[in-house]
């Protein structure tokens, strides 16, 4: 029998099924950053851990958008940045660190990846902190000098010489304070545009530390947050720049009404304060009745609830994730796909409008776990192999030429 569901009916079906299967739909998860939080963990709310990367392999990183001037420091690893107060870039040869402990120490903005430590002196367009935008070339021309201290205790002077916007390349110059090891390097960002940031080490060059930005939703890491209006090292969760999330506190643990929430893109929406250190037990305690909802890139709206945090001994955090809706606000287009047979066994036929199919279709279980994915090709319809899957209820999310649709699928033996 051919069954066709519009997205509006699908949304109701999703909520009903999830409400009746809440215990089964909650998926336990965990990550491990290692002792002293030695690693950063990139995590997909749909598929789990994407990549574990050592924290100390990079010093600074560049936002990869061609028309962005954002540059951050690896403050969580102990990289320190100071603006040189005695001269602009012309003071390179006379660079003097006397009294540097009284200079302004620059920190990344924990709420905005693009507002890095190098940008914190910005005064608004055309001033981007480390340099000024040129209306003639459309490049950003460096006008500042910086003092950088890396975790190995070495001090360097640094000038971001230029951002060649049309080429998406940076030119930087750095040396030891006595002028030795003076290097001018051109960094090509283009091979890394599928990532949020391109990282750089003063001793190792470009560091390919990140997975593709489309593959992860949240990053477990150590960074400088704001505690009592003061920059302070914290351990927590930062959002992928493309992911929106909302925080819900002091509410019923069964709460799922994501549709009325205000989803935001600030990188520290989840942040670090979902836990606190209890001085009596000398353990971390997770805040009670606190949850987050995030629009995962590969599935839909995911509910995230933390369970525990082990601290610096292992860096282990535990949590549960739960798929609440396959569609985000304003993403779905109604009545654009159909499937048959439904219930199905072994294979499933997907019918889509249009002369040319382009995109992908993904099959999820009730917890939001991605089980199978197909690249759309051909015209009008595709046959999907669903053999080997257990009988039960699943959801098919399709992105065809930018139009997103969804179907509930029942598999039988």
In a domain, 2, yes or no: no
Cα separation, 275 vs 278, whole angstroms: 9
Over residues 209-229, the mean pLDDT reads 96
Higher pLDDT, 346 or 61: 61
Dump pLDDT digits (tens) for 12-31: 334 433 333 333 368 899 99
Q: Are residues 134 and 265 in the same domain?
A: no
Higher pLDDT, 378 or 73: 73
Domains: count for the chain: 3
Whether the upstream peptide bond of residue 343 has omega within 30° of 0, thus cis, is: yes
pLDDT bucket at 9, cuts 50 / 70 / 90? very low
Q: Count how many Cα atoms sit within 13 Å of the Cα of residue 389 in the half-sphere of its side chain.
A: 24
Contacts of 308 (CB under 8 A, 6+ apart): 284, 286, 316, 317, 318
Cα separation, 351 vs 361, whole angstroms: 12
For the ranges 179-183, 199-203, 218-222, 253-257, the lowest mean pLDDT is seen at: 253-257
Cα separation, 176 vs 182, whole angstroms: 7
Q: Are residues 296 and 386 in the same domain?
A: no
Dump pLDDT digits (tens) for 347-382: 998 988 766 788 899 998 876 778 999 999 887 788
Q: Quote the pLDDT of residue 331.
A: 46
Q: Are residues 74 and 48 in the same domain?
A: no
Higher pLDDT, 233 or 9: 233
Cα separation, 364 vs 408, whole angstroms: 10
User: Last residue of some domain: 325, 346, 363?
Assistant: 325
In a domain, 294, yes or no: yes
Alpha-helix residue ranges (DSSP H) falling in 93-209:
none
| Proportion of the chain above pLDDT 70, given as a percent | 91
In a domain, 21, yes or no: no
Cα separation, 395 vs 244, whole angstroms: 22
User: Last residue of some domain: 325, 352, 383?
Assistant: 325
Cα separation, 287 vs 292, whole angstroms: 12
Cα separation, 285 vs 269, whole angstroms: 19
Q: Are residues 281 and 338 in the same domain?
A: no
Q: Are residues 276 and 355 in the same domain?
A: no
Q: Which domain holds residue 271?
A: 33-54+213-325
Q: Are residues 292 and 312 in the same domain?
A: yes
User: Last residue of some domain: 325, 350, 379?
Assistant: 325
Q: Got the DSSP string for 321-373? A: EEEEESS-TTTB-TT--EEEEEEEESEEEEE--SSS--EEEEEE-TT--EEEE
Dump pLDDT digits (tens) for 137-161: 999 999 999 999 999 999 999 999 9
In a domain, 83, yes or no: yes
Q: Quote the pLDDT of residue 408.
A: 82
Dump pLDDT digits (tens) for 288-303: 999 999 999 888 899 9
In a domain, 195, yes or no: yes
Q: Are residues 200 and 65 in the same domain?
A: yes
Q: Are residues 248 and 369 in the same domain?
A: no
Q: Quote the pLDDT of residue 381.
A: 83
Place of tokens 């995590």: 43
The kind and range of the H/E element at 293 are strand 290-295
Q: Quote the pLDDT of residue 338.
A: 84
Residue 5 pLDDT greater than 60, yes or no: no
Q: Are residues 75 and 103 in the same domain?
A: yes
pLDDT bucket at 327, cuts 50 / 70 / 90? low
Q: Are residues 217 and 291 in the same domain?
A: yes
Q: Quote the pLDDT of residue 201.
A: 98
| Proportion of the chain above pLDDT 90, given as a percent | 72
Q: Quote the pLDDT of residue 25.
A: 64
Q: Is the pTM of this model over 0.75?
A: yes
Residue 109 pLDDT greater than 90, yes or no: yes
Report how far apart, in Å, the C-alpha atoms of 314 and of each of 97, 110, 279 are. Answer: 38, 24, 19
Cα separation, 14 vs 387, whole angstroms: 23
Q: Are residues 176 and 265 in the same domain?
A: no
CA 292 to chain CA centroid, Å, is 15
Place of tokens 């030119």: 171
In the chain, what's the furthest Cα-to-Cα distance? 81
Q: Count how many Cα atoms sit within 13 Å of the Cα of residue 127 in the half-sphere of its side chain.
A: 8
């Amino acid at each position: 029998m051919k069954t066709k569901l519009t997205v509006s009916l699908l949304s109701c079906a999703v909520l009903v099924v999830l409400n009746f299967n809440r215990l089964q739909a909650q998926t336990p998860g965990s990550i491990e950053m290692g002792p002293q939080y030695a690693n950063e963990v990139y995590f997909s709310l749909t598929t789990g851990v994407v990549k574990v990367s050592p924290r100390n392999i990079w010093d600074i990183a560049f936002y990869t958008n061609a028309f962005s001037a954002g540059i951050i420091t690896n403050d969580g690893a102990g990289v320190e940045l100071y603006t040189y107060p005695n001269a602009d870039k012309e003071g390179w040869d006379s660079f003097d660190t006397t009294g540097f402990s009284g200079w302004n120490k620059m920190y990344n903005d924990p709420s905005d990846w693009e507002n890095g430590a190098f940008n914190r002196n910005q005064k608004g367009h055309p001033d981007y902190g480390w340099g000024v935008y040129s209306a003639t070339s459309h490049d950003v021309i460096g006008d500042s000098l910086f003092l950088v201290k890396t975790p190995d205790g070495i001090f360097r002077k640094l000038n971001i010489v230029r951002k060649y916007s049309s080429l998406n390349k940076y030119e930087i110059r750095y040396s030891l304070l006595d002028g030795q090891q003076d290097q001018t390097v051109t960094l090509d960002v283009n091979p890394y545009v599928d990532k949020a940031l391109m990282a750089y080490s003063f001793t190792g060059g470009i560091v390919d530390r990140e997975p593709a930005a489309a593959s992860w939703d949240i990053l477990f890491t150590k960074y400088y947050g704001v505690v009592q209006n003061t920059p302070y090292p914290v351990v927590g969760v930062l959002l992928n720049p493309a992911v929106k999330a909302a925080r819900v506190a002091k509410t019923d643990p069964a709460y799922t009404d994501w549709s009325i929430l205000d989803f935001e893109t600030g990188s520290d929406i989840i942040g670090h304060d979902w836990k606190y250190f209890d001085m009596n037990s000398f353990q971390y305690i997770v805040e009670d009745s606190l949850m987050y909802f995030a629009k995962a890139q590969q599935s839909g709206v995911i509910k995230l609830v933390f369970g525990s945090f082990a601290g610096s001994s292992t860096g282990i955090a535990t949590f549960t994730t739960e798929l609440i809706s396959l569609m985000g606000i304003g993403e779905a287009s109604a009545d654009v796909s159909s499937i048959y047979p439904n219930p199905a066994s072994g294979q499933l036929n997907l019918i889509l409008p249009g002369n040319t199919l382009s995109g992908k279709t993904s099959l999820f279980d009730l917890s939001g776990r991605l089980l199978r994915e197909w690249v759309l090709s051909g015209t009008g319809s595709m046959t999907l192999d669903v053999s080997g899957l257990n009988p039960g209820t699943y959801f098919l999310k399709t992105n065809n030429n930018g139009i997103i649709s969804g179907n509930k699928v029942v598999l039988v033996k």
